[in-house]
Amino acid sequence: MSIEEKIGQMLMFGFEGTQVNDETRKLIEDNHIGGLILFKNNITSSKQLVELNNQIKDINEEHHDIPIFTSVDEEGGLVSRMPPEIINLPDSKEIGDSQDVQLAYQVGEAIGERVSSFGFNMTMAPVLDINSNPSNPVIGKRAFGNNKEMVSKMGIEEMKGIQSKSIIPVVKHFPGHGDTDVDSHLGLPVVHHGLERLRQMELVPFQNAVNQKADMTMVAHIMLPEIDSEYPSSLSKNVITNILREELKFNGVVVTDDMTMGAITENYDIGEASVRAVLAGNDIVLVCHGNENKKSAVSSLTKAVKNGTISEERIDESVERILHLKEKYNLSDRTLDTVDINEINQSSEEIVDALR
């Protein structure tokens, strides 16, 4: 693989519109992008969503041998990207309150089934944050509970349910976004916990998930001055390499949270932050919005490898992990014909009924 192809595999982008535009087509064709993520504004109906994912896969297959990640934030509840015809799943808090581990697994199956039915191969779930701060503006009901035992137990069952449908789950937001009072979409949260506290609390669900063969972890944009006084967690070698890789022994794929969130854009240049993210140990840099931001990530990473700031060995480590994951899930750019909306909705109704 060329340097450009390797770097492409390490990038996941969002895009505007309800079909692949020329800019996005160029990113797939020329920049060899390894993955795309869809949001609510990309989706209008079930038929349109199937066609859009088919279009992405057709373009990728025409130009590349490596299948593309097609990703979505489908947690259920507050964070769902499904078309309007699809009945939403309950919030994770409701699942946690039920204390029914079989139900958590069933929710994972339902998430896996719905994203698979629309042609996705990855979902950015489950949330393994512990909702320990009542004034948290961004986690809340997205968490399974306010204690490490409940979050571990329910989150891991959901993760396994997703995996059972051959969908890649992404556990998030390492090292724990539960005790924050700032929304990282808007600014940079600061958490004054040291490593001992994290080991006793926030890291526990992630350690359990790693022990249960988690495939992929998303890293939050949180400032932890006791652990790294210079960089937020998503750009911190201390957090990603020293804690996640070496201490928790995670050898799967690590992805940043969206680099166009305020926590990063208010404090860093996107290109510089992308380079810093890879140096810290991330395998995939996620850039969801803005064509100039995407171009900056591509050009900055390419330049950094060519001038030796990032070694090719460092890039190869990440690319190997990414290719291994694509192979493990037997990813392909095979397209879909139709989707059975009734079947998806029936599984949602069964879960809602079980909570009554």
Q: Can you give the pLDDT of all 356 residues of the chain as single tens digits? A: 899 999 999 999 999 999 999 999 999 999 999 999 999 999 999 999 999 999 999 999 999 999 999 999 999 999 999 999 999 999 999 999 999 999 999 999 999 999 999 999 999 999 999 988 776 667 888 999 999 999 999 999 999 999 999 999 999 999 987 767 667 777 787 888 899 999 999 999 999 999 999 999 999 999 999 999 999 999 999 999 999 999 999 999 999 999 999 889 889 999 999 999 999 999 999 999 999 999 999 999 999 999 999 999 999 999 999 999 999 999 999 999 989 999 999 999 999 999 88
Is the backbone of residue 93 left (phi > 0), alpha (psi -120 to 50) or beta? alpha
DSSP H/E element including 35: strand 35-38
β-pairing, 122-123 vs 35-38, is unpaired
User: In a 10 Å sphere around its CB, with 0-12 CB exposed, 13-18 middle and 19+ buried, how is residue 88 labelled?
Assistant: middle
Specify the DSSP class assigned to residue 287. E
Strands 35-38 and 11-13: parallel
Q: Which of 97, 100, 185, 269 is catalytic?
A: 185
State the helix-helix crossing angle for 270-280 and 312-328, rounded to 10 degrees. 80
Contacts of 311 (CB under 8 A, 6+ apart): 305
pLDDT of res. 133: 76
What residue has token string 């240049």?
A: 269
Residue 182, classed as helix, strand or coil, is: coil
What are the domain boundaries of the chain? 3-265+278-291+320-354
Q: Which distant-in-sequence residues (6+ apart) come within 8 Å of 273 by Cβ? A: 235, 259, 264
- Burial (0-12, 13-18, 19+ Cβ within 10 Å), 171: buried
pLDDT at residue 177, rounded to an integer? 76
Beta bridge pairs of residue 38? 72
Query: What CA–CA distance (Å, rounded) separates 322 from 143?
Result: 27
State pTM to two decimals.
0.96
63 classed as catalytic: no
Distance CA 148, CA 146 (A): 7
Which residue in 73, 129, 215, 257 is the catalytic one?
257
In angstroms, rounded to a whole number, what is the distance separating the alpha carbons of residues 272 and 232?
14
What the block records as the tokens of 10 is 């390490």
Task: State the pLDDT at residue 172.
Answer: 95
Query: Alpha helices, DSSP H only, in the chain?
Result: 3-9, 22-31, 46-63, 92-98, 101-117, 148-163, 195-200, 203-211, 237, 262-265, 270-280, 291-306, 312-328, 341-354
- Is 185 part of the annotated catalytic residue set? yes
3-265+278-291+320-354: CATH topology is TIM Barrel (3.20.20)
